[in-house]
């Protein structure tokens, strides 16, 4: 049992997070996690990306001691989180994927109480809570009861409750769900700051494009297995020399017959995304123009590949498929 864990105490590598070969089967058959190995240093923002059912929530629930791995180990510095789920709960701050229950509390009360429960001193918790409420532009609802808050605001209050007195490990499961684009940007800033303050941050998200800007490293998980891991740029290295060709299909049109130069494609709504070699750029544009003339498409664009294209290549899906 550890008595107190305050943010920023200890040196960096003393608090490294290490998960090794974490495997979790449900009912002895579904491999929700299959030998997942991940190391995260304090100060790193680490993304966990993957389609619905990939095993992301299962993984983080084992980190915080809510589920016991079938096999494998999870350690933070000297502590074994599998052996000692109480320590896991002290070390980790967790924003669950589901909304937090704050019905009968005013926003600032809910924030204050959770900070006290996490062991923060009252004045410091109140000051940080109010600073976060202001930073996420939520001051107008500071005194509003939980059950009167909108879905997106509740999501942000959940984030503040989780991070008002953060542990060494901060785990955020889909923190941006239901949040408007402007406040999502404010939220990403606060997530980055948590890393700068020395926490190791796990960020579970479907939003690949936003994650690309916010994370230091990430893992892509598919069907329980970790299929890629690295910095956003290192994961894009394999796509060097490739371009993204995007076609906005006219409503009611199916996917047209694709020329051989298309290496991968995925469709979200009327948006058809394709990866081509940069040496095929001219031929790609000529084909896209034909699609416009044939009234199959109403717009096209050619640009650099993004992490989204890596995600499509590795999982066979777009991240928007899941949201």
Ligand X SMILES: Nc1ncnc2c1ncn2[C@@H]1O[C@H](COP(=O)(O)OP(=O)(O)OP(=O)(O)O)[C@@H](O)[C@H]1O
Site for Mg ion, rule CB under 5 A: 57, 97
Q: Which residues pair with 267 in a beta bridge?
A: 272
CB neighbours of 78 closer than 8 A, spacing ≥ 6? 14
For the bound state, the minimum distance from the C-beta of residue 288 to Mg ion, rounded and expressed in Å, comes to: 36
Residue 309 Cβ vs ligand X, minimum distance, rounded to whole Å: 20
**Residue 315 binds which of ligand X, Mg ion, none (CB < 5-8 A, kind-dependent):** none
Give the pairing type, strands 217-222 and 45-49. Answer: parallel
Give contact residues for ligand X (rule: CB under 6 A).
26-27, 30, 32, 50, 52-58, 97, 322
Binding partner of residue 180 among ligand X, Mg ion, none, CB cut-off 5 to 8 Å per kind: none
Closest to ligand X by CB, 110 or 170: 170
- Name which of 8 and 52 has its Cβ closer to ligand X: 52
Alpha carbon separation from 282 to 259, 271, 279, 289 (Å, rounded): 13, 21, 8, 11
**Residue closer to ligand X (CB basis): 204 or 276:** 204
Residue carrying the six token digits 């690295």 = 230
Which residues, other chains included, contact 85 with Cβ-Cβ below 8 Å and sequence gap of 6+? Answer: 65, 66, 68
Q: Give the one entry of ligand X, Mg ion, none that residue 32 binds, where binding means its C-beta sits below a cut-off of 5 to 8 angstroms depending on kind.
A: ligand X
Q: How far is the CB of 58 from ligand X (least distance, A)?
A: 3
Residue-wise burial string across 231-244, b where 16 or more C-beta atoms lie within 10 A, e elsewhere: ebeebbeebeebbb
Identify which of residues 215 and 291 has a Cβ nearer to Mg ion in the complex: 215
Least CB distance from residue 98 to Mg ion, whole Å? 10
Which of 144, 177 has the CB closer to ligand X? 177
Taking CB within 5 to 8 Å according to partner kind, which of ligand X, Mg ion, none is near residue 43? none
CB of 50 to Mg ion, least distance (A): 9
Q: What is the distance between the alpha carbons of residues 175 and 172, in angstroms, rounded to a whole number?
A: 6
| Cα distance between residue 206 and residue 316, in whole Å | 14
* Residue (32 or 214) nearer to ligand X, CB: 32
User: For residue 275, what are the β-bridge partners?
Assistant: 244, 264
Least CB distance to ligand X at residue 32 (A): 3
């Amino acid at each position: 049992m550890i008595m107190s864990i305050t943010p920023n105490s200890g040196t960096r590598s003393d608090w490294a997070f290490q998960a090794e070969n974490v495997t979790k089967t449900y009912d002895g058959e579904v491999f929700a996690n299959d030998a997942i190995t991940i190391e995260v240093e304090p100060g790193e923002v680490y993304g966990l990306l993957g389609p619905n059912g990939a095993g992301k929530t299962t993984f983080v629930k084992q980190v915080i001691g809510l589920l016991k791995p079938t096999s494998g180990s999870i350690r933070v510095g000297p502590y074994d989180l599998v052996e000692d789920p109480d320590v896991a709960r002290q070390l980790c701050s967790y924003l669950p994927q589901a909304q937090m229950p704050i019905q009968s509390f005013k926003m600032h009360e809910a924030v204050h109480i959770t900070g006290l429960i996490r062991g923060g001193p009252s004045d410091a918790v109140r000051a940080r809570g109010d600073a976060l409420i202001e930073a996420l532009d939520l001051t107008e609802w500071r005194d509003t009861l939980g059950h009167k808050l909108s879905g997106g605001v509740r999501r942000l209050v959940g984030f503040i409750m989780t991070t008002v007195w953060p542990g060494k490990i901060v785990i955020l499961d889909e923190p941006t769900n239901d949040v408007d684009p402007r406040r999502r940007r404010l939220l990403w800033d606060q997530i980055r700051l948590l890393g700068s303050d020395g926490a190791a941050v796990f960020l579970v998200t479907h939003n690949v494009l936003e994650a690309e800007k916010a994370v230091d490293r990430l893992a892509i998980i598919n069907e329980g297995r970790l299929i890629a891991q690295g910095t956003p740029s290192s994961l894009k290295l394999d796509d060097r020399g490739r371009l993204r060709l995007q076609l906005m299909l006219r409503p009611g049109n199916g996917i047209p017959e694709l020329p051989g130069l298309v290496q991968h494609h995925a469709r979200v709504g009327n948006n058809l995304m394709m990866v081509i070699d940069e040496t095929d750029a001219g031929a790609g544009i000529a084909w896209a123009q034909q699609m416009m003339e044939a009234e199959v498409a109403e717009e096209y664009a050619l640009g650099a590949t993004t992490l989204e294209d890596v995600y499509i290549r590795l999982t066979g899906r777009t991240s928007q498929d899941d949201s």
